[in-house]
Amino acid sequence: MRIATFNINGIKARLPRVIDWLSEQSPDVALLQEIKSVDEGFPREAIEDLGYSVETHGQKGFNGVAIVSRLPLEDVTRGLPGDDADEQARYIEATVMGERRAVRLCCLYLPNGNPAPGPKYDYKLGWMARLETRAKELLGSEMPAVMAGDYNVIPQDEDAKRPDAWREDALALPATRDAFRRIVNLGFTDAFRARVGGGGHYSFWDYQAGAFDRDDGIRIDHHLLTPQAADLMTDCWIEKAERAKEKPSDHVPVWLELAA
């Protein structure tokens, strides 16, 4: 089972690129973030024509997540539990039925949190606390589960080309890293770091100041695996080449391969 997480930075702006990517790379499941579309406005027919089913949790102009799958999906839920007043569309879950076993997939778009300190950062930390609660529940289910998406978290200095430039940013503040580490330390595996060590591996490059040409990037798109999912992992990699294509997102896909 080949799963990709990909912040596409707007489905309407990026639809031709997304269609080409799906056609060329053929993921079994694509977890998309920042679709920036209401559910009824999402161009599902163009994607369904490629053989995918589409489940979305969107809102107008901002945020929004989607699961696009060639494999059967069951038990789709929308919204991160823990705050009924939260209207931001940042979380969707589904069970994907693989050839060998079922896997619970959680597609998330974690808040950016800037400027920090401030209400946006408080919301980010509150959201991460709710994600930690959901992570505990997933562990308790003892089924293979993957929490993947744009975490807006730079876990360590080696995950940034210029770590000093991010010291005061919400993506790398100590409280952000502590909240991320608490989730991992419950028993999750950072899939990419389980396969690849060291610096120089990024999933986001700003559009400004030639950041991609200078490889001035950060790694903020992650797959976190329960022990049952980690046992199934055969590979994890970053598809850097996607960033060099025409009208790209500022993120690139991060891939996970499971024997499922």
Q: Is 152 annotated as a binding residue?
A: yes
3-state SS class at 146:
strand
Catalytic status, residue 109: yes
- Tokens at 256, concatenated: 């996970």
Catalytic status, residue 201: no
Strand partners, 69: 29, 53
Of 28, 150, 190, 221, catalytic: 150
Q: What is the DSSP letter of 215?
A: T
Of 57, 222, 223, 251, catalytic: 251
Residue 59 exposure: Cα atoms within 13 Å on the Cβ side: 14
- What span, in angstroms and rounded, lies between the C-alpha atoms of 243 and 239? 8
- What span, in angstroms and rounded, lies between the C-alpha atoms of 27 and 22? 7
Alpha carbon 175 to chain centroid, angstroms: 20
3-state SS class at 193:
helix
Cis peptide before 111 (omega within 30 of 0): no
Q: Is 251 annotated as a binding residue?
A: yes
Per DSSP, the residues of 38-75 read: -GGGS-HHHHHTTT-EEEEE--SSS--EEEEESS-EEE
Q: Is 55 annotated as a binding residue?
A: no
- Tokens at 258, concatenated: 């499971």
> Phi, psi at residue 211, to the nearest 5°?
-60, -40
Q: Is 63 annotated as a binding residue?
A: no
Q: Is 185 annotated as a binding residue?
A: no
Catalytic status, residue 202: no
Closest of 192, 165, 177, 195 to residue 254, by C-alpha: 192
Of 52, 109, 151, 202, catalytic: 109
Binding region: 7, 34, 150, 152, 250-251
Binding region for Mg(2+): 7, 34, 150, 152, 250-251
Residues acting as catalytic residues: 109, 150, 251
